[in-house]
Structure 1
Amino acid sequence: MGGRWGLGTDGRSGGAADLGLWPHNPGNWGPPPASQGSGQGAVGWGVRSTGGGCGSVTSGAPARPGGCGPLDRAQAAKNKGNKYFKAGKYEQAIQCYTEAISLCPPEKNLDLSTFYQNRAAAYEQLQKWKEVAQDCTKAVELNPKYVKALFRRAKAHEKLDNKKECLEDVTAVCILEGFQNQQSMLLADKVLKLLGKEKAKEKYKNREPLMPSPQFIKSYFSSFTDDIISQPLLKGEKSDEDKDKEGEASDVKENSGYLKAKQYMEEENYDKIISESTKEIEGKGKYMAEALLLRATFYLLIGNANAAKPDLDQVISMEDANVKLRANALIKRGSMYMQQQQPMLSTQDFNMAADIDPQNADVYHHRGQLKILLDQVEEAVEDFDECIRLRPDSALAQAQKCFALYRQAYTGNNPLQVQAAMKGFEDVIKKFPRCAEGYALYAQALTDQQQFGKADEMYDKCIDLEPDNATTYVHKGLLQLQWKQDLDKGLELISKAIEIDNKCDFAYETMGTIEVQRGNLDKAIEMFNKAINLAKSEMEMAHLYSLCDAAYAQTEVAKKYGLKPPTL
């Protein structure tokens, strides 16, 4: 066992007790960009001179003439235990530390806490995790800010599968150390992710399906150009229940659940689409393939992937169905697999879609987005190029190609390519002035380049084009924080996003993160819980639970140890 995780000398921890946890994203456990102390706890083996040369009962060394005090004898026993520990004789070391504990005067809290922590270290070597946790608890009771005892107990709780207790201990350690110890931050991140996955798995299974906002649904369908089910109804397809279209109902030869569902879609009456599609499917109507795909699409939109998959599977297997329906089903199933972190299955579906419908621009557009997520930027650009070749009017593909080229140049630290990508954005917004996504992606790139004023202008153009798009208000709010450190303006814009769309989980998540940084942990937890209830995938929900659990752990640490994170 190396010196880094060796035995303590006096149990005193560092003084960075005022530093806080900043859960911007899972894995981001850092303090704000300000000068912070290191807060390192005492490390090293700590073989300390007893001063009196006093022998211990177990060592057999003679005592100095004139006698020794109980603390001297306890220190001698501890030193003997340290020697056994270094030699790998952990049972003997435990005996010596036990002797030190029994000899130490009860008012010597720091010394006594060190003896318990040292015995815990020996138990740790023997993998006696329950004893490790018990001795560390004794050490922390005697010295509440004892970093090594807290961290050792956190590791024991991890082994005992006590995730909540592990998180609280490692949170305290991260704060006390001022986020200077990579090992404690990695443990915190690991436990948060495990807790998030556990909670999301249970919650997502029992969640109430929730239809997203009309703006979200419209944005989703706008990413497809070869999607039959999102095309407007033809004149002769109008449902016979369309009372506002007199004269056209007589053209309908049948009462079709699918056509009714399409009509409801045009009216933005989305809650009725699944039930009407089901009528078409159960009646084995002539639009069965279309109805299956439409129902699957709305199952995906409400976050019910388990219900969507059988419908998508059935459409894909219908060899007599319109090839564009099958390709669209493959795109949507591939995207679903990516959300479920199954990139191989996702890639297979996109490749199959390209094989059966090579002239379908949507395949290349959405596969390009997949490639960006997989950090395969060159292949992504090739797919966007093919989409643009097939659909020269595809503003989304051109904007996303620019963003892919920009990210590649930015991460590769290539100023000339960055400049070329920025020029590409200018060309896109000039060519497609009605494409809000072009302005939004350009704004993100401008923010990276610290051209905050121009980025703000781009977000304003987005809002002009899509005043009901809550996400843009959130991005603009975040820009105010980064640009002007204007907390009030940032919160005002994010609150506006929630006012526009009270189902915008991104707004609640962002609000929660800001409240953590302000030290308003109860408010942050409230915001994260609202976002959790709106999460559209299990993976997204797990991420939100991680943020919520990090905030909750801070509240517990504040109660137990008086450790408070910094505030804005």
Structure 2
Amino acid sequence: MAASKPVEPQAGVPHWKLALAVGAPLLLGAGAVYLWNRRKTSKRDSQRRTPEGRASPTLTGRSPNQEPEFPQEASPLVKAQAAKNKGNKYFKASKYDQAIQCYTEAIGLCPPEKKDDLATFYQNRAAAYEQLQTWKDVVQDCTKAVELNPRYVKALYRRAKAHERLDNKKECLEDVTAVCILEGFQNQQSMLLADKVLKLLGKDKAKDKYKNREPLMPSPQFIKSYFSSFTDDIISQPLQKGEKSDEDKDNEGEEVVVKENSGYLKAKQYMEEENYDKIISECRKEIEADGKYTAEALLLRATFYLLIGNATFAKPDLDQVVIMEKANVKLRANALIKRGSMYMQQQQPQLSTQDFNMAADIDPQNADVYHHRGQLKILLDQVEEAVADFDECIRLQPDSALAQAQKCFALYRKAYTGSNPLQIKASMKGFEDVIKKFPKCAEGYALYAQALTDQQQFGTADEMYNKCIDLEPDNATTYVHKGLLQLQWKQDLDKGLDLISKAIEIDNKCDFAYETMGTIEVQRGNLDKAIEMFNKAINLAKSEMEMAHLYSLCDAAYAQTKVAEKYGLKPPTL
């Protein structure tokens, strides 16, 4: 896992962090629309299920089938309103066919220039069709209402729900986005519908895209950060002297020359040279030759399949290593850790937990098992168990700065979400102790900076990010976090975007940077630029779940562009 995102199952700003980092908005679920105002509306959703307009006083005390009383010389509009009021009576009596007849009469009587009244009649008839579940009729009448009154919230929302029933996700999203903007993002029902359809759209698009995507090797910095999270991983260790040629043993600083004709050892050599694109093919040679390093080659190949986002190919290799009883137990435990992490990315926490528990059973002295299981427990909100796992990792490996920093982070998250001032203070002191004890651990500074940002100690947080950059100048994600800090601290958009651009300059495969820049551009109202950034992040996504999340963000931005074109509606911008 990348150093600045130690417990995230996928790239992207954690939702709780984004709300704090940008101030407002907060992202709903997998993207949704942006909540520019989080106060709950006092309106009830039931208002949207009823026809508009009160019954005329002339109808008071009458049964629905009695004709309304009005003078012969009454205007067409008065007659139309009387027919509508009669329809409302039928509607409230659940006599929807009769209500439809009355609303149809009102539409026929209403003068064409009375657009608002005519829109109401169409919307009321749509409400009756909705009760009969004739969704195409609902869409047709709501469309008429919106044509007459483009900012008619009830008609737009009713049409959105009908589109949902018809599985017209794109049309549903555009309508509900317009509703959210018109309501100032204050109505929970509208936002939940937007969130729901965005998730469905993202999932559908990611399924097709991910299956046909071109595998892409991450940046060297990402790969090194990934392997640095393991200390008991045989395949990530440098080549041993026995694996090198005799002349190379005396020239440790020079290029390694592999003595044996082994695809696996050749792959290890390429790892040391950071020539990562050749590793999978060399491992394949070892496996096909059934060489003595077959287990290691399977695990190394699976690891790089995971790194390029090909879980389908990784899983059979991991499965094979797990059942190889004669293989080194640390290889099998490492395969279980990686398969468990893969399951978590696929949102299969039960299978993930099983793999981590099996790893602990077969190799109880392996510090990596407890370190990575601790991260899993944080994701599952099982903080007490996460802390216990980090403690066990620290017991087995007292110099594990990463585990100690992440233990502090787990304790801090528990205190922060529980709003416990004393525990927050204790966890902040814990961070200070970690960075004093391990001054070369960039992760400790990065996690402490996130906690300081929560506590609005922005200046100190900025100092911590600077220390991260001093220690790891090639870690792009630190620049992204520092950029987000500038937005929250000083509302300095230019500096924030400059830092995120710097991250992309350092690592043009940093999906986190593209996603964050896209999110900021949405809030600035630069929707075309936002869509461009989200699409770049999509092409770099390392899992189908992450890709679905990014598609949701992109679709939310695209829907806003369509709403702006159709109705001239735009949400507030930073």
Instruction: Tell me the CA shift for residue 127 of structure 1.
Output: 0.6
Q: After the TM superposition, which of the residue ranges 498-507 and 102-111 deviates more from structure 2?
A: 102-111
- Partners of 2:329 and 2:262 lie apart in 1 by 22
**Structure 2 SS opposite 1:226:** coil
Q: 1:130-529, aligned counterparts within 5 Å?
A: 130-238=136-244, 254-529=260-535
Partner of 1:72: 78
- Tell me, in whole angstroms, the C-alpha distance in 1 between the residues paired with 2:317 and 2:425: 46
What's the counterpart of residue 102 of structure 2?
A: 96
In the alignment, the residues of structure 2 paired with residue 21 and residue 411 of structure 1 have an alpha-carbon distance, to the nearest angstrom, of 19
Contact preservation (8 Å) 1:38, 1:177: no
- Render the CA deviation track for 1:247-303: whole Å, top value 9, x for unaligned: 999996630000000000001110100000000001110000000000000000000
> Structure 1 residues 190 and 65 mapped into 2: Cα distance closer, same or farther (>3 Å)?
closer
Quickly say closer, same or farther: Cα 1:65–1:496, change in 2 above 3 A: closer
Cα distance in 1 for partners of 2:208, 2:426 equals 47
SS in 2 for 1:215: helix
Taking a change above 3 Å as real, the CA distance of residues 37 and 487 of structure 1, as seen in their structure-2 partners, is: farther
1:26 equivalent among 23, 30, 35: 30
Q: Cα deviations across residues 162-196 of structure 1 (Å, max 9, x unaligned)?
A: 00000000000000011111100100000001000
Alpha-carbon deviation of 1:50? 5.4
Structure 2: distance between partners of 1:339 and 1:435: 26
Matching residue of 1:546: 552
Structure-2 change in CA distance of 1:93 and 1:248 (3 Å) = closer
CA distance in structure 1 between the aligned counterparts of 2:107 and 2:205, rounded to whole angstroms: 41
User: Structure 1, residues 46-74: CA drift from partner, whole Å, max 9, x if none?
Assistant: 444658889x9x95536544422211111
For the Cα contact (< 8 Å) 1:154–1:167, is it kept in 2? Answer: yes
Q: Distance in 2 between matches of 1:535 and 1:162?
A: 26
Q: Is the 8 A contact 1:535 1:541 kept in 2?
A: yes
Mark the runs of 5 or more structure 2 residues left unpaired by the alignment.
1-23
Contact 2:258 2:269 in 1 (8 A): no
Instruction: Give CA deviations for 1:341-363 in whole Å, capped at 9, x if unaligned.
Output: 00000000000000000000000
Distance 1:68 1:240, change over 3 A: farther
The match for 1:558 among 564, 571, 574 is 564
For residue 452 of structure 1, report the CA deviation from its aligned partner: 0.5
Q: Which residue of 1 aligns with 2:10?
A: none
Distance 1:333 1:378 in 2: 24
Say if 2:119 is the partner of 1:117: no
Q: TM-score, normalised by structure 2?
A: 0.90
**Displacement, 1:146?**
0.4
Query: How far did 1:22 drift?
Result: 7.3
Contact 1:215–1:468 (CA<8 Å) still a contact in 2?
yes
For residue 467 of structure 1, give the secondary structure of its aligned residue in structure 2: coil
Specify which structure has the bigger relative contact order, considering alpha-carbon pairs within 8 angstroms and separated by 6 or more residues. Answer: 2
Amino acid at match of 1:81: G
Distance 1:250 1:187, change over 3 A: closer
Mapped contact 2:80–2:109 kept (Cα < 8 A): yes
Residues 68 and 86, structure 2, Cα contact 8 Å, conserved in 1: no
Report the Cα distance in structure 1 between the residues aligned to 2:275 and 2:549, rounded to whole angstroms. Answer: 31
Taking the aligned partners of 1:386 and 1:327, their CA distance within structure 2 comes to 16
Matched positions, count: 547
TM-score for both structures, normalised by structure 1: 0.91
Change (3 A) 1:348 1:34: closer
For 1:53 and 1:294, how far apart are their aligned partners in 2? 80
Letter of the 1:26 counterpart: A
Deviation for aligned residue 1:38: 9.2
The structure 1 segments of at least 4 consecutive aligned residues displaced by more than 2 Å after TM superposition are 20-54, 58-67, 238-254
Judged with a 3 Å threshold, the aligned counterparts in structure 2 of structure 1 residues 139 and 192 are, in CA distance, closer, same or farther, namely same
Distance 1:430 1:256, change over 3 A: same
Aligned to 1:11: none
Shift of 1:132: 0.5
What is the distance in 2 between the residues matched to 1:256 and 1:357? 28
Per the alignment, do residues 49 and 414 of structure 1 end up closer, same or farther by CA in structure 2, a change over 3 Å counting?
A: closer
Amino acid at match of 1:344: Q
- Asked if 2 retains the 8 angstrom alpha-carbon contact of 1:239 and 1:260, the reply is no
Q: Is the 8 A contact 2:32 2:553 kept in 1?
A: no
> Aligned with 1:341: secondary structure?
coil
Asked if 2 retains the 8 angstrom alpha-carbon contact of 1:509 and 1:544, the reply is yes
Q: Deviations over 1:460-489 (max 9, x none)?
A: 000000000000000000000000101111
Q: Percent identity?
A: 84
